Amino acid sequence: MFKKIFIISCAVLGIAGLPQYAQDLSRFTDTDAGAPNSAPASVQAAKVTKAAQAPRAHYTTGVRAASIPMDRAGHFSADFRINGRNVRGLIDTGATYVALNASTARNLGLGLTSADFKHEVNTANGKTRAALVVLDRMDVGSISVNRVEAFVLDDKALSSTLIGMSFMSKLDSYRVRGNTLELAL
């Protein structure tokens, strides 16, 4: 009985993933191989734009992905969930750690005291004191990463959240394609 239920469950999951698989395959047109595509350029651009905005998991391979469009200033910013709360973060591959200001840390429920700020860090604005914390979970799109180290800095030293290499290095890959940063886990 259990074997039949298992087989039926697998079949249902496989069928449910087919539309997503077909959508993923539709992004790779003959145009990528140099052959002309019959769809008008506006339709192709709409497909690319829609694909770039929709983070998704590839159900047949288990790959989890997120696509982050470049903003007008040439940066990659996205809405992250950190410890279950929404935080806007700027991807910064030049930063060793995720960096939060003290106000954001308080909103995430991180109770820090002045004694926790015992690390000296170099920032674009010079040296400052920081507290080292471990974030339980960070999510972007369908990507979820546990136990991410982060520095908390004074609000005067950091105005926004930076997503540094302590998060990025836990991914399987990341790359810029066109004006989109593609993350995969």
Helix (H, G, I), strand (E, B) or coil at 34: coil
Q: Specify the pLDDT at position 61.
A: 53
The rounded Cα 35 to chain-centroid distance in angstroms is 33
Helix (H, G, I), strand (E, B) or coil at 147: strand
Q: Specify the pLDDT at position 125.
A: 81
For the stretch 96-124, pLDDT in tens is 999 999 999 999 999 999 999 999 998 88
pTM to 2 decimals? 0.67
The list of the chain residues with pLDDT below 50 reads 1-58
Spell out the domains of the chain, with CATH numbers in brackets.
2-54 (no CATH), 77-176 (2.40.70.10)
Tokens of 20: 């997503």
Q: Specify the pLDDT at position 18.
A: 40
Q: Looking at the DSSP assignment, which residues form a beta bridge with residue 80? A: 87
For the stretch 149-173, pLDDT in tens is 999 999 999 999 999 999 999 999 9
